[in-house]
Amino acid sequence: MKLIIFTDLDGTLLDDATYSYEKTLPALELLKREGIPVIFCSSKTKAEIEYYRIKLSNTHPFVVENGGGIFIPRGYFSFPVSCPPHTGEEHGSYYRIATGTPYSFLREAILELQREGYCIRGFGDMSSEELAELTGLDIDTARKAKERDFDEPFLFRGEKEQEGALLAFVAAKGLHLTRGGRFFHLTGENDKGKAVSCLIGLYRKQGGGAPVITAALGDGPNDIPMLRQVDYPIVVRRPGGGDELRICLPHLIRAEGTGPEGWSEAVLRLLERLS
């Protein structure tokens, strides 16, 4: 029986303030020795995630921009990959399954919201320098964060009572809003759960239908669709508590530690539980 682990990055595998992953390294090394795939499933872009894949020698598929795109290394599966109605297309050294709404359409919606008077500022409105100052990223990483295809993060500085009208406006456009940390994310029909479900199906097919055990770790509302899809949903605490406290799912496991420390602790406990 094969174990597969899906994980968010910011606030889980990565420290939310420093973006450090040092505290996860012992658990990641153990997972590598055991041959357990760790699949990054994040709101980050392809360019951002590739940086961490190289740093952590991760060779598995990954999910970008809240499920908008699934990237699978060529030859990883022994059959053509698809998630009907979406098929895999060659994209450099990967096959990409694109399920998200094109970024240009999302930007048009942001501009329309701004014209309607909503106090919104998206990544597409910011320079790399501004984004770096806002997020604590270095300039190069901020540039990578702006290389978006399927998801537009934005800050909303309007009144709380405006959020309902904002949601209605977005829904009328056939789009969706989710929340990840301080940012709202404007997306199409995609979400992390649909991407995770697709990959689980591909792993089962690769194994000839043999059972797989799945786990996922996240820390915010945009992780809920991913957590719903797995056998062991794990929520990692944020320092001081926050959005993760709003997550309430059957069989939810709450990590005792925060950030990468909580991530590592939860993974090691899961391995012990399944041994």
Residue 248 has pLDDT above 80, yes or no: no
CB 122 within 8 A of CB 38: no
User: Which tokens is 241 given?
Assistant: 């508590």
Active site residue 15: no
**Fold of the domain spanning 103-187:** Threonyl-tRNA Synthetase; Chain A, domain 2 (3.30.980)
User: Which tokens is 41 given?
Assistant: 């499933």
Domain ranges for the chain, please list them.
2-100+191-274, 103-187
Residue 201 has pLDDT above 90, yes or no: yes
Confidence of residue 209 (pLDDT cuts 50, 70, 90): confident
Long-range contacts of 233-241 (CB under 8 A, 24+ apart): 234/266, 234/270, 236/11, 236/12, 236/262, 236/263, 236/266, 237/262, 238/11, 238/16, 239/16
Element (H, E) at 113: helix 103-115
Q: What is the pLDDT of residues 214-224, one digit of tens each?
A: 999 999 888 99
The mean-pLDDT minimum among 23-27, 156-160, 163-167, 187-191 falls in: 156-160
The mean-pLDDT minimum among 38-52, 139-153, 199-213, 241-255 falls in: 241-255
Residue 198 has pLDDT above 80, yes or no: yes
Does this model's pTM top 0.95?
A: no
**Fold of the domain spanning 2-100+191-274:** Rossmann fold (3.40.50)
